[in-house]
């Protein structure tokens, strides 16, 4: 792919006018431990709209102009000299979040360690919808919270991209699941596996739910603080939306100033958590091909199924991001690179 160019959706700067548009960019160069993937589909996530605003500028590194997107599925076209798990022609899926590259492009470079074989029973659009929500749910519920059979987990916004996957994963782990959704989606999220469904238009969840072991923080505003009251002593909150905490700053080896800032940002939730004898932590998802492989096995048994709200063509990617930003999607929004996929 040397000296060739490709079409990509990029942003030129951070802030209110990031200049998101299609650009011809150089095809990425391949390192020894990487694979080059012809992108067939790319899943969108809320963070794709947040990154150009600069909100994560202190912790995410991009060389501008930068290609947007994190999730992808496609076919391997080249492999680096040290790659052993993949060969040209393999159908794969991956998240390249936090790796300084983007998936909303004709080709993407993926570290061998971040990729997994696409589950045979899923098409490319379905596979592309999964990596970030699947890895986030896995890392939050299995790794961080160590969710056990019989425990209760609260996953607010059950009809969203994270919610639809996390509910199914929690059920596969043997947990009881509580969630919130609007009136029209109550029956739908129940069918996904939620045991206790609170219609947030009719009731306040903190007045209805109690005795929970784990809260997955998926909503901004005061939902996180209210959710402390539904936890048992010894319970845990794993937040995906912040506030960022000092432990996160230390894990990423950020400077002392940012460590102090993040410590201040999380001071209120930390105080509330301590008072209730529960723990709070912020989770930043990381790519992991081995975990995606394990998740792929669950998908092949159809114990968990992808939930897709809407599919857009690549040339409609800006409209897709605008649609996602409205916050009304039931499941995931996916870009497919052409009509034939």
Buried b (16+ CB within 10 A) or exposed e, 276-295: bebbbbbbbbebbbebbeeb
Please say if the pLDDT value at position 294 is more than 70: yes
**What pLDDT does residue 55 have?**
80
Is the model's pLDDT at 57 over the cut of 90? no
Rounded CA-CA distance 246/266 in Å is 8
pTM of the model: 0.93
pLDDT tens profile 116-142: 999 999 999 999 999 999 999 999 999
pLDDT value of position 37: 97
d(CA 42, CA 30): 20
Q: Which structural domains are found in the chain, ordered by start?
A: 5-130+306-336 (3.90.180.10), 133-282 (3.40.50.720)
> Residues 106, 107, 113, 119: what is their CA dihedral angle, to the nearest 10 degrees?
50
Nearest to 135, CA basis, from 242, 286, 302, 307: 286
The tokens for 324 are: 């996602």
Q: Which residues of 86-95 are buried (b: 16+ CB within 10 A; e: fewer)?
A: beeebbbbbb
């Amino acid at each position: 792919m040397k000296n060739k160019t490709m079409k990509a959706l990029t942003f030129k700067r951070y802030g209110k006018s990031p200049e998101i548009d299609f650009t011809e960019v150089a095809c990425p160069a391949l390192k020894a431990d990487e694979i080059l993937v012809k992108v067939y589909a790319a899943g969108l996530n809320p963070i794709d709209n947040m990154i150009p605003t600069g909100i994560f500028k202190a912790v995410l590194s991009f060389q501008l102009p930068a290609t947007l997107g994190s999730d992808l599925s496609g076919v391997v076209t080249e492999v680096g000299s040290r790659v052993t798990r993949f060969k040209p022609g393999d159908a794969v899926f991956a998240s390249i979040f936090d790796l300084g590259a983007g998936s909303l492009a004709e080709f993407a470079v993926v570290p061998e360690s971040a990729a997994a074989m696409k589950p045979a029973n899923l098409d490319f659009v379905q596979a592309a919808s999964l990596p970030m929500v699947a890895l986030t749910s896995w890392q939050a519920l299995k790794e961080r919270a160590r969710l056990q059979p019989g425990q209760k987990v609260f996953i607010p916004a059950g009809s969203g991209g994270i919610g639809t996957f996390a509910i199914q994963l929690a059920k596969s782990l043997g947990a009881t699941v509580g969630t919130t959704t609007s009136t029209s989606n109550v029956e739908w999220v129940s069918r996904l596996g939620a045991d206790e469904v609170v219609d947030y238009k009719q009731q306040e969840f903190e007045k209805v739910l109690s005795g929970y072991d784990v809260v997955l923080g998926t909503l901004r505003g005061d939902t996180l603080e209210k959710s402390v009251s539904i936890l048992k002593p010894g319970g845990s909150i794993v937040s995906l939306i912040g506030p960022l905490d000092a432990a996160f700053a230390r894990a990423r080896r950020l400077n002392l100033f940012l460590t102090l800032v993040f410590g201040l940002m999380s001071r209120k939730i930390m105080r509330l958590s301590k008072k209730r004898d529960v723990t709070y932590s912020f989770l930043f998802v990381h790519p992991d091909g081995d975990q995606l492989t394990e998740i792929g096995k669950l998908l092949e048994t159809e114990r968990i199924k992808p939930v897709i709200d809407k599919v857009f063509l690549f040339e409609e990617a800006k409209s897709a991001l605008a649609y996602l930003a409205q916050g009304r999607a039931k499941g995931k929004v996916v870009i497919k690179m052409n009509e034939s996929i």
